[in-house]
Amino acid sequence: MKYYTLKENHLFSKAYRNGQYSGGKYISVYVMPDYHAARLQRANPLKLRINRVGFTVAKKLGVAVVRNRVKRILREAYYKAWKTLDMKTGKIIVIAARSAAVSVKTDDIYKELEAALIQLGVASAKETENE
RNA sequence: AAGCUGUGUCAGACGAUCGCGCGGUAUGGCGCCGAAAGGUAUUACCGUGAGGAAAGUCCGGGCAUCACAGGGCAGGAUAACGGAUAACGUCCGCCGAGGGUGACCUCCGGGAAAGUGCAACAGAGAUAUACCGCUUCAAGCGCCUCCGAUUUUAUUCGGAGCGCGCUGAGGUGUCCUCAGAUCGCUUUGCGGUCUGGGGUUCACGAAGCAAGGGUGGAAAGGCGAGGUAAGAGCUCACCGGCACUGAUGGCAACAUCAUGCAAAUGUAAACCCUAUCCGAUGCAACACCGUGUGAAAGAAGGGCUGCCCGUCCGCCCCGCAAGGGGAUUUCCGAGGUGGCAAAGAGCUGUGCGGCAACGCAUACGCCAAGACAGAUGACCGUCGUUGACAGAACCCGGCUUACGACACGGCCCGGCG
RNA sequence: GGAGAAGUACUCAAGCCGGUGAAGAGGCGCCCCUGCUAAGGGUGUAGGGUGGGAAACUGCCGCGAGAGUUCGAAUCUCUCCUUCUCCG
């Protein structure tokens, strides 16, 4: 388990209202601190401290098949970021798709997500530290 | 070959890497989150993992709850006929009507001789009429013919005619023309939209008739002959229509033939009538757990949740009383678990029955998605390149809508034999 | 997921138990008022497509879309599309 899915609607609206924002051509990213991070860490059997992530795809983008596909690509991009970058934990992250994201590949989404996460101070590249 | 038409099948495949949901086995944990109920990893392996429409939510069921055998009213649905089905507004067959050269397709396709309503405008008249018209009779006028009188004749007067033609004022419409208002411009005249005046033409006595005229979606069937004062299904032939008439064929709708009839505008996707069917609410139902020392009603009522009847439950106990106790009913309740997935109105093959929908029998045949921010993706290679519409949410049967490719049958046209 | 409601001109809308021309208001144009503007008053066009005409004017289509019933549909019936509301 690499993240908890964010379910509560009030947390989504709180993230939109109070969170730090970074937007690109395909996605928008909102980040705010998770006040329940300590309790969730204790609840986790492995005592890991992980993020809560929400993926948002508006109905405007298309029918259910298209929306599901976009959501999968966003999730794939987050997995890749978790593996390759040095991520901070105990955050609430909301990743929202824009209409341009319907017809692009994973690499393009990932590049934008990486840039946004670094800009917001959530992640830093591992490779640069090693070099 | 092109076009059209009907039916059926598939829904890209294989391989490599990374990754996801669920189930099982092993591993691991016995902690943590929560008031409680309850929830929970990690890793490895194995199995499994969206559709023909999963969609629209338009019908029909299953299932669940409402204490419920039943009856009536209201309300709703369906509508040729026969079958299929758990059921249906679905499917099959068939009948009738309509469309197409044809294969074939389409039809909310009962009743307007039970009743009510509606049918604008136009038109003389809209479910019954008589404006024009045609014919007869009568009045007046004119003409014609005949007779009589007068007169030399012409002429004049009177009478007669199943003889011929015409019809005063007022009001209405048509056409022409004039004036005014207003608008436009190719601006001092034309055109458009209105209002008013004048002139011209035609018709208006009674009875009969409904052929002809034009209006309209619709004017008491069409056409020809006879018939008549003029006419008319008034009569007849042919065609058409109707029938709770008969015969034949068909289970039936119906078809054909015979016989009879002249009452018959359209509209029931207007009310309505007839026949058949339907309790309501939907998995956000509902059950259980948990939580509140919850709230309300309270000896009246409650209840299938539109109404009425029936049925059922309750209307109790202590006490002289005040009062107390218990029963009953209703409502709220964050959250969790179940409902929920595996197997049934299932699929496939074969045999039999049936025109078919489908049914019966059989195989030691096949089948295991299931969440709760909601699981199938990314990238690379090969197959010649590209894959349309599109994501299960309690479960089934249909319908409708969206849409790619392929196969098979058939029709039409042209050519050849 | 389920249950409903509505769609008429640029906007708000009436008409929706069928009948000639689809009300009305705002907005918009013009005039008056003012040195100018706003406000106010008066007045006019009422929107779109297409055909005739020089223009005034006028024919046809058009009430979310498409079929059907009817002589005739904004209105009745069916199927789609869009928007909104409620249940949690």
Instruction: Sketch the domain layout of chain A as residue ranges.
Output: 4-122
| Protein CA A75 to sugar C1' B326 (Å) | 63
Residue A106: which nucleotide is closest by CA–C1'? B378
- The token duo for A3 is 């993240």
- pLDDT of A50: 81
Cα–Cα distance for residue pair A6/A75, rounded to 1 Å: 13
Question: A4-122 maps to which CATH number?
Answer: 3.30.230.10
Q: Which protein residues have Cβ within 7 A of any strand B atom?
A: A 1, 5-7, 9, 12, 39, 42-46, 54-56, 63-65, 68-69, 71-73, 75-76, 79, 105-107
pLDDT of A128: 39
Mean of per-residue pLDDT scores for chain A: 79
Q: Out of A1-10, A59-68, A114-123, pick the least confident.
A: A1-10
Report how far apart, in Å, the C-alpha atoms of A1 and of each of A5, A18, A20, A70, A82 are: 10, 27, 25, 21, 11
Predicted pLDDT at A130: 34
Tell me the residue type at A94.
V
Q: For the segment A14-34, what is each residue's pLDDT rounded down to a tens digit?
A: 788 888 888 888 888 888 888
Higher pLDDT, A61 or A29: A29
ipTM value: 0.78
The answer to whether the pTM exceeds 0.80 is no
Residue A126 has pLDDT above 70, yes or no: no
Residue A131 pLDDT > 60: no
